[in-house]
Structure 1
Amino acid sequence: MKMEDIAKLAGVSKAAVSLALNGKGGIGPETRDRILQIASENGYRPKSRTSAREAQTASITFLVFANSGIVLEQYYQQPFFRELIHYIEERCRASGYSLLFSSVDMSTFDEGIRAIAEDKRADGVILLGTNLNKPMLEQIAGRLNGPLVVLDTCFETLPISFIQINNAMGAYQAGQHLCGLGHRDIGYIASDIRIRNFDDRRTGFMQALQENGRELSPAHVFSVAPTILSSQDALKKRLSAYRESQMPMPTAFFCECDYIAISAIKSLVELGYRVPEDVSVVGFDNISEALIVSPELTTVHVEKERMARLAVDMIVEAIESGSLVGSKVLVDTQFIARGSSRSPDPAALEAAANAVR
């Protein structure tokens, strides 16, 4: 009798069986009693490694490689990561695991991997992969001995478990929203630091424009720092120069993340533009600050709670079963229309049409 057999008889997952047999939280009392009864009736005996585990507190490490563009040293204060960590902590607690934190400066990448590999406190690792490329992930996975789940990026050819946002879908939704409102001259404000998430978002957005007979003019593409919530002088200078060229301003901008969108709104307002009367702005991530900015930000909601729950459940199952077979999970997005977007002013549409003629 194996854990898989008990799971089938009880009609639950193998992870639930593991939680019941190890006396951990995360399942209801009736489910626990049913699992234990089936195990007892079938003479199930846990492996010795499980008995050894009972003498210690099970833990998971949340690992971050910081100081690399989008992921700062104080990453835990950045809205997106702050919310993600909150949900990971909640799920770990519900599953009977403590959460440890480990941050490695990107400038000491090799030494950091070695130190993590030698640290035996945790039973598995959830790695924030936002700013990591494929060779880096290969190197990390090759040095770690236990289960590993990577959050917020995905490389399909790596034998690693990934939980990733459906970035292309979210940006596609944003593009469809702006086209549906009637915008024809749409601008794009990109991050000047490139990661795979942003590249996928551009792909999805461009697909929406193409399907709606729109084109993205190179003159309408701007780039800014992705981690500044205030207005940015560099963006203001570029927008001012564009205005002085007598070319019509785009009637809407899609921004690769909410940080950029909020910074864009503040920059546009300081230049005398009204959002959304003159220019609509759409972001991506739905961080808590999206509800504080005025007007409230139209954005793409990322299911951070679901991503956290999936990551913890996946790592717990790998720890308890001893399986290192990877899985790739793509989590869809939801589009949220708020006050920063609306249909373009008819006068703006006419100006754009005259410019084309």
Structure 2
Amino acid sequence: MKMEDIARLAGVSKAAVSLAFSGKPGIGEETRTRILSIAKKAGYTPRRSAPAQEAATVANAPVEDAAPSLLFLVIANAGIVTSQYDRQPFFRELIHFLEQGSRAGGFSLLISAIDMARFEDDLRAIAEMHADRGVILLGTNLDKETLTRIAERLPKLIVLDTCFETLSIPFVYTNNVLGGYQAGAWLCRSGHRTIGYAASDVRIPNFDARRRGFDDAMREWSVVVAADHEYSVDPMLPAAQAAFQNKIAKLRNDGKPLPTAIFCESDFIAIGVMKSLAELGIRVPEDVSVIGFDDIAEAVIVSPELTTVRVDKEKMVRSAVRLATSLDESPSEGGMNISVATALIERRSSAAPPSV
């Protein structure tokens, strides 16, 4: 194990780990204690010079947590969750509410990430340190097999932002089917009948559930999404995308109608769609309405402001913290699932179709 691994497990920078071992100022005492405790439990002995001898001695001494704590665990570099997950708007907002909720409950929040490339080794180290602690796992990008392997090692596990009903694990998740249905039904009620769908080219269960809800609305209103109006885009690139633009340009060159509205599986996708349309001289919403999903902070920064399906991230996090801190028995034995409803937030990127 290297210093980088200790930093990842502790949810801090490599520089913070170095300061902890050297005994130098620059980090809080709680953080220093946590880093040294993690290093001890992981069996890590730093390469040190003479001035660091005292810090190394501390690392080999038993350390108790000063206050009860929760662990927020992320599996990075798998699917849409990158190693820079804390910079991705949706996950950044989740972490913000987790910090608030933990603090309000009198708990400190530990944040740790497992790199999928070192999954087994990192999971083993996490389990050795946190088997008795409540763990909130970001499940957005994870499949059933991975969740099962994690739950076997972490008995007090709560999974956030996904749900597999056939697993006996507590899940707190968004009702994505409802959100997709709300977006599709709103477009149909507004008079749209030529509707497009912008899907992520990286698939996760949440996106699939949004599609199911959207398709339910289309069936109710007897609307068929044409193959020419189906788009596959990069969900991590909130910028103009050539593949999407080429497909729109081909419709115009062939004299075929553009969709009067496009539903996007996430706000990042929606922002990219709006920028792509703007570069082609297509106005939003005068020519094409755009609806996103998530209601991230950037939804009100773009122009026009984005109509979107709101994911109540604060309520999801509050429910997960309550589960993780209130159950004395192992919660993973119960399989208690909490579904959080969505709401469509109407802003300026959507309107009735031009013909209405």
Instruction: Deviation per CA, 1:102-125: give whole Å up to 9, x if none.
Output: 111112222221121112487111
What is the match of residue 329 of structure 1?
338
- The answer to whether residue 131 in structure 2 is matched with residue 142 in structure 1 is no
Deviation at 1:213, TM superposition (A): 1.2
- 1:285–1:55 distance in 2 versus 1, CA, 3 Å: closer
Partner residue of 1:252? 261
1:65 to 66, 69, 75: 75
Does 1:308 find its partner at 2:317?
yes
Structure 1: distance between partners of 2:329 and 2:135: 15
User: 1:176 aligns to what?
Assistant: 185
Alignment map for 1:122-271 (pairs within 5 Å): 123-144=133-154, 146-271=155-280
Amino acid at match of 1:84: L
Shift of 1:245: 2.0
SS for the counterpart of 1:160 is coil
| SS of residue in 1 equivalent to 2:159 | strand
In structure 2, the residue matched to 1:9 is none
Q: Displacement, 1:220? A: 0.9
SS of the aligned residue for 1:141 comes to helix
Secondary structure of residue in 1 paired with 2:158: strand
Deviation at 1:290, TM superposition (A): 0.3
Stretch of structure 1 that moved more, 189-198 or 80-89: 80-89
Which string of whole-angstrom CA distances, capped at 9 and with x for unpartnered residues, describes residues 98-149 of structure 1? 10011111122222211211124871110000000001101111122x4100
TM-score relative to the length of structure 2: 0.79
Q: CA deviation at 1:96?
A: 1.2
Does 1:105 find its partner at 2:137?
no
Instruction: Report the number of matched residues.
Output: 292
Q: Name the CA distance, whole Å, in 2 between partners of 1:148 and 1:285.
A: 24
Does structure 2 retain, via aligned residues, the 8 Å contact 1:59–1:121?
no
Aligned-partner residue type, residue 146 of structure 2: M
Runs of 5+ consecutive residues of structure 1 not aligned to the other structure: 1-53, 350-357
Q: TM-score, normalised by structure 1?
A: 0.79
Taking the TM superposition and a 5 Å limit, the aligned residue runs for 1:32-71 are 56-71=66-81
User: 2:294 aligns to what SS in structure 1?
Assistant: coil
CA distance in 2, matches of 1:122, 1:277: 56
How far does the alpha carbon of each residue in 1:205-225 deviate from its partner, in whole angstroms, 9 at most, with x for none? 000011011111122100101
* Contact 2:131–2:153 (8 Å) recurs in 1: no
Q: Secondary structure at the match of 1:119?
A: helix
Secondary structure in structure 1 of the residue aligned to 2:163:
coil
CA distance 1:237–1:321, change in 2 (3 Å) = same
Aligned equivalents of 1:106 and 1:238: distance in 2?
Answer: 34
Deviates more, 1:65-74 or 1:156-165: 65-74
Between 70-79 and 295-304, report the one with greater CA deviation. Answer: 70-79
More off after superposition, 79-88 vs 185-194: 79-88
Q: How far, CA to CA, are the matches of 1:90 and 1:113 in structure 2?
A: 26
Between the aligned partners of 2:171 and 2:116, the Cα distance in structure 1 is 21
Distance 2:329 2:276 in 1: 52
The answer to whether residue 98 in structure 2 is matched with residue 88 in structure 1 is yes
Residue in 2 that maps onto 1:46: none
In 2, the alpha carbon distance for the partners of 1:241 and 1:142 equals 51
Q: What per-residue deviation string (whole Å, max 9, x for no partner) do you get for residues 183-240 of structure 1?
A: 1110000000000000000000000011011111122100101111111122212222
1:171 partner letter: G
Which residue number corresponds to residue 48 of structure 2?
none
- Partner residue in 2 for 1:7: none
Q: CA deviation at 1:55?
A: 7.6
Find the aligned partners of 1:299 and 1:155 in 2 and give their Cα distance. 25
- How large is the RMSD of aligned CA atoms in angstroms? 1.5
User: Which of 123, 126, 134 is matched with 1:116 structurally?
Assistant: 126
- Runs of 4+ aligned residues of structure 1 deviating over 3 Å after TM superposition are 320-324
Name the counterpart of 1:286.
295
The answer to whether 1:277 aligns with 2:286 is: yes
Change (3 A) 1:56 1:265: same
Matched, 1:345 2:354: yes
| SS of equivalent residue, structure 1 residue 283 | strand
